[in-house]
Structure 1
Amino acid sequence: MMELLFSPAGVAAAVALVLAGAVQGSTGYGFSMLAAPILAIIDPSFVPGPMLAMAVAVSASGAITEWSDVSRADLAFSLSGRLLAAIAAAFCLGLLSPDSFATVFGAAVLIAVAFSFLGMKIEATRTSLFFAGAMSGFMGTLTSIGSPPMAMVYQNSSGPRMRATLNAFFVVGGAISIAALIVAGRFSTSDVLLAAMMLPFAFAGFLLSGWGRRLVDRGQVKVVVLVVSSASAFVLLFRGLL
């Protein structure tokens, strides 16, 4: 593992994690979307276990920083959906290839973004939070990229509420997905060690995210959500179609 850290590939992985940490700290999501594709190319063992572990740690930092803005009611409904979907996803790992799942999810996210651009208004209701949580759990467990469904639900919310609640969601939700992977025999000590080795770079990015939070808090939530969600969809499609 140490050889990876001091190689060109390791440097690329570190840069990706710094950028991903900055985006996660700014918006409450996007960490896995930015880092997972690059790290998966560098070394497939990064996905999904180590990526999920790093995402949980970085999200915990964000949730603690803005704990007073976390919506407990939102979490109750979204995490209920995530729990059910993560368990189902862990046992679907062998049904299709990860690339096939990525293609399907990428197309679904793009459709949701298109509807939003056409004027469909998505609000953070009990029903939408439950189904967004379920989709996030399914996508995140299978591909390490589960943020777009939850982000789309919060596109008309305030920056602090979105960021704090999403960070808290990904702490618990990521832990649920890791537990599901453990049950399915897809998470081990080597995943923990790999995550621990690369995590300082992600934390460095998180510490640089103050400028991003200011942008989101100036009323740019919807724009940021749609842009980042579209980017994540293209990343999933790119992974799936290659």
Structure 2
Amino acid sequence: MIDLLPSPHGIAAAVALVVAGAIQGSTGFGFSMLAAPMLAVIDPAFVPGPMLAMAVAVSAGGAVREWSDVNRQDLAFSLTGRLLAAGAAAFCVSLLSPGAFAATFGFGVLFAVVLSLLGLRIETTRRSLFLAGALSGFMGTLTSIGAPPMAMVYQNAGGARMRATLNAFFVVGGIISIAALAAAGSFRFSDLLLAGTMLPFAFLGFLLSGWGRRIVDKGRVKVVVLVVSTASAFALLLRSLA
């Protein structure tokens, strides 16, 4: 486990969480997609448990802030899919070697980036929400990165609906994934302590996200997420080869 601040690794982890918290507060997604690959390079102990715990806390802040814009029907279908997939994914964690775990991260993030760059358009329907929720649950439980499938479904929705509903989804979905990991023996009290130690940095970023909400509809935040996620993905792939 990394040394706490002010070690170089601790500072790097803190900066990653501040940026990720600002992105999450601005868009309703991207916290794990941005921070998890970077923190996994710093120390694998951050994933998946501690990252999921921090994502739940930051997403809860976003859901409360825009609660009136949460779409309950969207939540029902997407969370049903996530619940069905999370249990199966939890029992796959022990099947991955550290190298394969890093490679799964890298290829998963690159795949999401490619889909975004290709401009894949998915309508927000009951079927797409269910399938995206299931894929998000599987990816999120295994790698802490469950945002890409849900973000793709909401890429053409309004900003407030997207932010509020995705934040609510990640709160409930993250709790489901943590429970599944705990049942499989892959989430321990030490994970909760690590999450609690680093959580203030994530919330600092969230509190600074007001500017991001004002520009998110112009598409600028998406560019930042894609660039940083691509760099993180390549770093993870290099780590898996090592």
Taking structure 1 as the reference length, the TM-score comes to 0.89
Aligned partner of 2:225 in structure 1 is 228
For 2:101, the aligned partner's letter is P
Whole-angstrom CA distance in 2 between matches of 1:176 and 1:159: 25
Q: How does 1:36-185 map to 2 (within 5 A)?
A: 36-96=36-96, 97-116=100-119, 120-185=120-185
For 2:179, the aligned partner's letter is A
SS in 2 for 1:4: coil
Whole-angstrom CA distance in 2 between matches of 1:37 and 1:82: 21
Q: CA deviation at 1:99?
A: 2.7
Contact 1:113 1:226 survives alignment (8 Å): no
Q: CA deviation at 1:2?
A: 9.5
For 1:12, the aligned partner's letter is A
Q: Runs of 5+ in structure 2 lacking a partner?
A: none
Whole-angstrom CA distance in 1 between matches of 2:227 and 2:73: 27
Q: Which moved more, 1:77-86 or 1:223-232?
A: 223-232
Whole-angstrom CA distance in 2 between matches of 1:84 and 1:233: 29
For 2:132, the aligned partner's letter is A
Once the two structures are aligned, what percentage of the paired residues are identical? Answer: 67
Q: Runs of 5+ in structure 1 lacking a partner?
A: none
Alpha carbons of structure 1 residues 106 and 43: separation in structure 2 relative to 1, 3 Å: closer
Query: Number of aligned pairs?
Result: 236
Contact 1:18 1:204 survives alignment (8 Å): yes
Whole-angstrom CA distance in 2 between matches of 1:16 and 1:106: 16
Q: What whole-Å deviation, never above 9, does each CA across 1:187-230 have from its counterpart, x for those lacking one?
A: 111111111111111111100000100012xx335x75576357
For 1:191, the aligned partner's letter is D
Aligned partner of 1:19 in structure 2 is 19
Contact 1:79 1:133 survives alignment (8 Å): yes
Contact 1:51 1:195 survives alignment (8 Å): yes
Which stretches of structure 1, 4 residues or longer, exceed 4 Å deviation after superposition? 223-227
Whole-angstrom CA distance in 1 between matches of 2:234 and 2:88: 22
Q: Pairwise CA RMSD of aligned residues?
A: 2.1
